[in-house]
């Protein structure tokens, strides 16, 4: 059979593997290959090939190949744990973004010092360069093997698999694991790895099951890449929004209200600035703002489909012996607002936005600072349109999302999510909706990936994944096309023919939720917000009491111009005051001593560490106002 690699072709017997083909046709690429793609499908280097076609060598730069390497690293981890802790029971060990983990059932929880022992044993296994050998067994033999090796979690997994399928295993020395693969040909390709943390994890994610011990790690083909990744992790710890929220007195979460955030005065300044910005851009884009009730009847949620599809995440209560629910989403209330009046095709499209507080019963183990909470404000919008207007409205939403993310200095990736298993509505509606989203993205020449089966239960969606300053991805904005809820709620408009027609509905968020976006911004900027978002834009620091009057006068002058200013008149050394202001990440520190008080000037210090002397009050205010108006994400050099 004929195989083609990087433009060169050769004839091979069926059953040849990619590694042998690369040896003949691409010997240089073979050195860095950790996997292959055969006719577009990821395969192991040692997997036998039985179809002719194209063969592509894959290095660590390929996302699928990275996952393959890290999945093999998870097997090395499991093998090392079994060598050191023979009574440990194996659960699951997948690769994940930027790393891998493995869950174990152990008699005593691992301690941080155990990670060093496990790493040493992993290094020994990698140095031996043990082969990853795949074999299959019938169901009964597979169960017998796992029972013989005292692996009850693997037996449970096998029992959930189809009875008529042969089951795949991988052998690595004495270690054997139930696994579909694919893997590296041998462990030696893992040139650099690190175990990063420990955590608890319920078996199969259910609080009803036993708590297992999860070990996280990461792996690379290059030590320098590993070190850079670990440096990013350390930087991420410094930027943790939970830590900065407390230190900067912005927000916090408390045991008395798990998943229900507290916002303090400075945090409310930041939040209100975001809301003001949100309202301004929505007015400019032709949206009207509404507010719908927090609590609505069970009948409404049954009609929307949420009661059937989302009930376990909803908080409910009784009022006058009737069932109600605290809204987990704003859509049904928005639909009732639409149905309050008759609509003509001339009124459409209608764009309605809402900063709506919603509540969702998230599991306690899933809560994470502001990123995953139980009460949050969605920056929702619902757009109602005729079928002919769909593409233009999708494009309009995309341009709004693009503008917002660029204003905050984010790059982003776009993902199209298709019909999930628990969907409602007809095949025709889903096909039409999905095609409309694809055509709009294609017309704008937007690159996107398809996420099969991850749409909302009522329609397909486009998700926007932001990239922050550390290269991490955050899912924020979403655009969901819905032809189902208008049908369920009998929504209509009068067409040009005088007949009743069904509108199409778009559900849309830009920030995602106010709380989560603030958490992302805090980590993206490391708490050092750009001037227009900083709760305190400048702090005036006096060197002597004689300068107090001049400092107070400058504060009044700056506040009159609309700037947010603090005074520090304490009888402390100026170096101490400056360091404290730096720790609070205040953009500008304005120092006034006897000379500055006499001349009507200030010495300006910024977060870059630059100092500028003899700056007049007029120039100071004009420069800060210009930087604020520009919404620049970097500090101005205008004082130079």
Which sequence positions are flagged as catalytic? 331, 360, 378, 380, 382, 461, 507
Token pair 């259910």 is at which residue? 206
**CA distance from start to end of the chain:** 70
Q: Are strands 315-319 and 322-326 parallel, antiparallel or unpaired?
A: antiparallel
Q: Are strands 504-509 and 295-297 parallel, antiparallel or unpaired?
A: unpaired
Q: How far is CA 143 from the centre of its chain?
A: 38
Calpha distance 483→433 (Å, rounded): 7
Burial of 260 (0-12, 13-18, 19+ CB in 10 A): middle
154: region left, alpha or beta (phi > 0 left; psi from -120 to 50 alpha) = alpha
Type and span of the H or E element at 367: none
223 to 218, 228, 231, 273, 477: CA distances (angstroms):
12, 9, 12, 43, 36
What is the SS3 assignment for 355?
strand
Type and span of the H or E element at 373: none
Q: Are strands 375-385 and 504-509 parallel, antiparallel or unpaired?
A: antiparallel
What is the SS3 assignment for 103?
strand
- Angle between helix 548-560 and helix 617-630 axes, rounded to 10 deg: 40
Token pair 């089951």 is at which residue? 167
């Amino acid at each position: 059979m004929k195989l083609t690699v990087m433009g060169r072709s050769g004839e091979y017997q069926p059953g040849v593997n990619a590694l042998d083909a690369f040896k003949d046709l691409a010997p240089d690429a073979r050195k860095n290959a950790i996997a292959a793609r055969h006719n577009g499908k990821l395969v192991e280097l040692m997997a036998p090939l039985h179809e002719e076609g194209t063969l592509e060598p894959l290095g660590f730069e390929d996302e699928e190949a990275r996952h393959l390497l890290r999945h093999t690293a998870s097997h090395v981890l499991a093998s090392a744990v079994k060598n050191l802790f023979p009574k440990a029971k194996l659960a699951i060990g997948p690769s994940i973004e930027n790393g891998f983990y493995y869950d174990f059932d152990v008699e005593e929880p691992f301690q941080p010092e155990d990670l060093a022992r496990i790493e040493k044993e992993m290094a020994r296994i990698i140095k031996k360069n043990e082969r990853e050998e795949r074999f299959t067994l019938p169901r009964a033999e597979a169960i017998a093997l796992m029972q013989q090796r005292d692996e009850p979690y693997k037996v449970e997994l096998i029992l959930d698999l189809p009875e008529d399928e042969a089951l795949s295993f991988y052998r690595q020395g004495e270690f054997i694991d139930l696994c579909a693969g694919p893997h590296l040909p041998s462990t030696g390709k893992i040139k650099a790895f690190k175990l990063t943390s420990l955590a608890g994890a319920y078996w199969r994610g259910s609080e009803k099951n036993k708590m297992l011990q999860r070990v996280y790690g990461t792996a690379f083909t290059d030590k320098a890449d590993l070190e850079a990744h670990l440096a990013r992790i350390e930087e991420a710890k410094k930027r943790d929004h939970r830590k900065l929220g407390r230190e900067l007195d912005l927000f916090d979460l408390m045991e008395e209200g798990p998943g229900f955030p507290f916002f303090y005065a400075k945090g409310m300044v930041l939040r209100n600035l975001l809301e003001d910005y949100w309202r301004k851009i929505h007015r400019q884009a032709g949206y009207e703002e509404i507010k719908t009730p927090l609590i609505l009847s069970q009948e409404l949620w049954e009609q929307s489909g949420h009661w059937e599809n989302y009930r376990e995440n909803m908080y409910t209560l009784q009022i006058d012996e009737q069932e109600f629910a605290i809204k987990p989403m704003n859509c049904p209330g928005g639909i009732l607002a639409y149905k309050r009046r008759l609509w003509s095709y001339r009124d459409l499209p209608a764009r309605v936005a809402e900063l709506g507080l919603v509540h969702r019963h998230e599991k306690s183990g899933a809560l994470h600072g502001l990123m995953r909470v139980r009460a949050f404000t969605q920056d929702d919008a619902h757009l109602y349109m005729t079928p002919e207007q769909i593409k233009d409205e999708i494009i309009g939403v995309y341009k709004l999302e693009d503008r917002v993310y660029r204003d905050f200095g984010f790059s982003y990736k776009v993902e199209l999510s298709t019909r999930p298993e628990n969907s409602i509505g007809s095949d025709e509606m889903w096909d039409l909706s999905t095609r409309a989203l694809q055509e709009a993205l294609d017309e704008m020449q937007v690159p996107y990936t398809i996420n099969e089966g991850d749409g909302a239960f009522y329609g397909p969606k486009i998700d926007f994944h932001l990239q922050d300053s550390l290269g991490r991805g955050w899912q924020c904005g979403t655009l969901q096309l819905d032809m189902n809820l208008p049908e369920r709620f009998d929504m209509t408009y009068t067409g040009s023919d005088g007949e009743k027609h069904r509108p199409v509905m778009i559900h849309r968020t830009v920030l995602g939720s106010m709380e989560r976006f603030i958490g992302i911004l805090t980590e993206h900027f490391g708490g050092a917000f750009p001037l227009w978002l900083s709760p305190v834009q400048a702090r005036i620091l006096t060197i002597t009491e004689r300068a107090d009057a001049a400092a107070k006068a400058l504060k009044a002058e700056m506040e009159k111009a609309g700037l947010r200013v603090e005074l520090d008149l304490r009888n402390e050394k100026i170096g101490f005051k400056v360091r404290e202001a730096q720790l609070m990440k205040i953009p500008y520190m304005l120092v006034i001593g006897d000379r500055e008080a006499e001349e009507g000037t200030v010495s300006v210090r910024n977060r870059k560490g630059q100092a500028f002397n003899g700056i007049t009050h007029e120039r100071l205010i004009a420069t800060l106002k210009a930087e604020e108006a520009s919404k620049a994400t970097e500090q101005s050099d205008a004082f130079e």
